[in-house]
Amino acid sequence: MLICIPQVLSKAQVAACRARMEAVNWIDGKVTAGEQSAAVKQNSQLPENSPLATEIGHLILDTLAQTPQFISAALPAKIFPPLFNRYEHGGHFGLHVDNAIRHVPGTIVRIRTDLSCTLFFSEPEEYEGGELIIEDNYGAQAVKLAAGDLVLYPSTSLHRVESVTVGARICSFFWLQSMVRDDGERTLLYDLDQNIQSLAVTLGLNHPQVLQLSGHYHNLIRRWAEV
């Protein structure tokens, strides 16, 4: 399941973050890549222990915790602290799959990467190229969203970032472990939840059909969730 979530951050929040990003040093992006990924990766990143990366990462996670569509689609159990990358001057990231397990630096926490997230900080017209290409059962999908928007997709997907030939593509990227490991089960739950929310608007929260479907939803959560 590939989900695009608009306006996770406002334009004002994006602009404030971008201004601060321009004032700090970036490092080689290979520092967070596995052996296979490092061979096809050409970009720069904010250092993981950078105070700015930590601060903006907290802003992203605090906002997502209050974003119903994200919670419904991801059912997050653990979230890796957001990282930040920059592609320019031909920078790209060749076809790869994300590491299955991520260790949170400075802790004993390990996260199974069920879902990958990219939050855009550059507007599409600011750069040429830089599409995130995600391969799934329906073929390759190109993603290039407005600043402040987020795309959520299975970490099992092969994906790449096309070469940025003009301008700079700045994004945050991170992974999460879902309470529901299986993507097919998450997709069913997301579709069911979205339909329940829609029916609740038209019929009311206490309508018998809404209550019955809500019961089915929570019983499926009980059956499939790992907490």
* pLDDT tens for each residue of 23-35: 999 999 877 766 6
DSSP SS3 for 151: strand
| Claim to verify: residue 91 and residue 67 sit in the same structural domain | yes
Report pLDDT for 30: 78
Rounded mean pLDDT of 111-136?
97
212 is in which domain, residue-wise?
Answer: 183-224
Report pLDDT for 51: 95
Strands 27-28 and 44-45 come out as: antiparallel
Q: How many domains does the chain have?
A: 2
- What is the reported pTM? 0.93
Query: What are the tens digits of pLDDT across the range 137-195?
Result: 778 999 999 999 999 999 999 999 999 999 999 999 999 999 999 999 999 999 999 99
| Claim to verify: residue 160 and residue 82 sit in the same structural domain | yes
Report pLDDT for 78: 97
Any idea what DSSP says for residue 119?
E
Task: List, in order, residues 6 or more apart from 15 with CB less than 8 Å away.
Answer: none
| Claim to verify: residue 162 and residue 83 sit in the same structural domain | yes
Q: Are 17 and 9 in contact (CB under 8 A)?
A: yes
Q: In this structure, what CATH number is given to the domain that contains residue 204?
A: 4.10.860
